[in-house]
Amino acid sequence: MSRRQRTHHAVSLVLALAVAAPAALVAQGIPANAPALRTALSDLATLRSTYVDAFNKKDAAEVTSLYADDAVVIMEDGTLLNGGLEIRAAMAEAAPTWPHAVIESDTTRVFGSTAVDLGTWTAHPADGGELKFRYVTILRRGLDGWKITHVSLVPLK
């Protein structure tokens, strides 16, 4: 095979890969405009920080603004809050008695516009002591950023 033929084959291979690589990404369900993983993780860390800061200020309006309108929350006692209206009402009622809280994320996975965050929620009630919960949060990224769609809390003994 001549040098010219090898060059032609190499150029053809590069062009084929240039076309195939984006097609492979699309075939995997990764949209071309998907945010970089590092950006998504940073955005989620900011949301987590905003959430706990608002919670510690007892600002139910700011906390609930981080939830999607169709969000579902399973409280530590098994109570199900279904939708933004129920979540807002429950949080507005409970906010004056919210303890100081700390969130520690153990694992965050991002799948395109969906994220799953697992970690520990530690509460410090005014009367002392410490309450610990494991949490699972599912979030979706939309036009207005990340929103919480599902949360489940499980008390640790």
* pLDDT at residue 142 greater than cutoff 80: yes
pLDDT at 25: 46
* pLDDT at residue 1 greater than cutoff 80: no
For residues 30-34, give the mean pLDDT.
57
pLDDT at 29: 54
* Side-by-side strand order, sheet with 114-124: 80-82, 67-74, 145-155, 131-142, 114-124, 100-111
* pLDDT at residue 26 greater than cutoff 80: no
Look up residue 117 and give its two tokens.
């965050």
For 14, 25, 32, 68, 117, the CA distances from 28, given in Å and listed in that order, are: 21, 5, 11, 26, 22
Percent of the chain at pLDDT exceeding 90: 71
pTM check: above 0.85: no
What is the rounded CA–CA span in Å between residue 125 and residue 99? Answer: 5
- Band the pLDDT of 57: cuts 50, 70, 90: very high
What is the rounded CA–CA span in Å between residue 13 and residue 74? Answer: 53
Arithmetic mean of pLDDT over the chain? 86
Please, what is the Cα angle at 49 between 148 and 43, to 5 degrees? 65
Note the pLDDT tens digit of each residue in 100-112: 999 999 999 999 9
